[in-house]
Amino acid sequence: MTDVLFIPVKLGEIELDHRVIMAPLTRLRADVDSDNPNDLMREYYAQRASMGGLIISEATTVSPTARGYRGSPGLYTEAHVRGWQQIVDAVHARGGKMVAQLWHVGRTSHASLIGGEPVTASDVPYEGMAFTADGWVPASRARSISIEEIAGVVADYAAAARRAMHAGFDGVEIHAASGYLIDQFLQDNSNVRTDAYGGSVVGRARLLMEIVDAVANIWGAGKVAVRLSPSSNFNGMADSDPDSTFTQVAAMLDRKRLAYLHVVEPRISGFQEVAPGLQPVAAAKLCRWFGGAIVAAGGFNGSEAAAEILRGGADAIAFGRYFISNPDLPGRLRSGRALTPYDRSSFYAGGSRGYTDYSAAVAPVRSE
């Protein structure tokens, strides 16, 4: 049933032995004073590494002002490079590969986290939450970022991409989904700018394209990916014509010759299912506009994942919540063993409970 998941695949220049990818999952276990990745995180990622499989790191901030959630890791200091290096080495030692997901939250932040006002595409009303030393609090009012500051953000992405390379990652994924800074530029309910970074889809996608070019300049496009969530209203997002916006963005990205385009299905909003029963549509739609490899995510089990690959909607499937509770997910899907249910209360709870204490049931998947 799930055999197709275990046919090797090439995502740009990233070669994999199977198609069961670990989705990016923020777990808020980094050191809170420094954003340093730590030993507990190394254990967690090593547990989830599989021979020839791909792990996408949790969203990782590109600068001190990109932060929005206390406990999420960074890639903006040399200590971060050393911390990630330990993790990537542990994943490699188990035969796995790992890409870093690069992140700027934009308006979903709080002044106490970044020492000033958050920035976003346009100063439009928004009610969201940030995770601070005082717990979940309403996000601070964000201001429209200036053109000069945009150049700084692009440079921050480039610097973080270089650090990801120094840490030994196998590539990078640019987080342009889920209502964070790049998505705030892409969609027209949060971007009402009248300069070169607003207006038409070309204008609204300019920040993303500049970041892609800057990062590809360091890595080569074949090791750079982009994640989009074309229809998610998570973090207050909306667009007046999402089909037109995201098909155009996919077509623009097609010309960049990326490793893969990662697409979140509309049945998912952020970290939960909002339309159970809705069949996957997003990746199958965008694959008509993006000729490279497609990774689909959101609400998949093993048989649905295999069906999606067989019907040509995606080349590989990223699993989120099931990878939290099944560290040996590729092996379980291959053997057909039941999946352990996840405990939502420990997603962001800190510590090892619900993080490193889920046990493996099967031997690791080996390439043949």
Interacting residues toward ligand FMN by CB under 6 A:
23-26, 58-59, 101, 175, 177-178, 227, 264, 268, 271, 297-300, 319-322, 347
Q: Which residues are catalytic?
A: 180
Residue 33: CB atoms within 10 Å = 7
- Going by DSSP bridges, is the β-strand pair 135-138/129-132 parallel, antiparallel, or unpaired? antiparallel
Q: Which residues of 137-171 are buried (b: 16+ CB within 10 A; e: fewer)?
A: eebbebebbeeeebeebbebbbbbbbbbbebbbbb
Give the closest residue to 208 by CA, choosing from 230, 235, 227.
227
- H/E stretch holding 145 reads none
Nearer Cβ to ligand FMN (100/214):
100
Compute the least distance from the CB of residue 196 to ligand FMN, in Å.
27
The smaller minimum CB distance to ligand FMN, of residues 18 and 227, is found at 227
| DSSP bridge pairs for 264 | 297
CA distance 153 to 59: 16
Our CB check for ligand FMN shows the closer of 67 and 175 to be: 175
The minimum distance between CB 230 and ligand FMN, in angstroms, equals 13
Q: Which is nearer to ligand FMN, 4 or 117 (CB)?
A: 4
Instruction: Provide the β-strand partners of residue 260.
Output: 225, 293
Q: DSSP character for 345?
A: G
User: Least CB distance from residue 142 to ligand FMN, whole Å?
Assistant: 20
Tell me the pairing of strands 20-22 and 316-319.
parallel
Residue nearest to ligand FMN (CB): 320
Name which of 193 and 231 has its Cβ closer to ligand FMN: 231
Smallest separation, CB 188 to ligand FMN (Å): 21
| Nearest distance from C-beta of residue 216 to ligand FMN, angstroms | 19
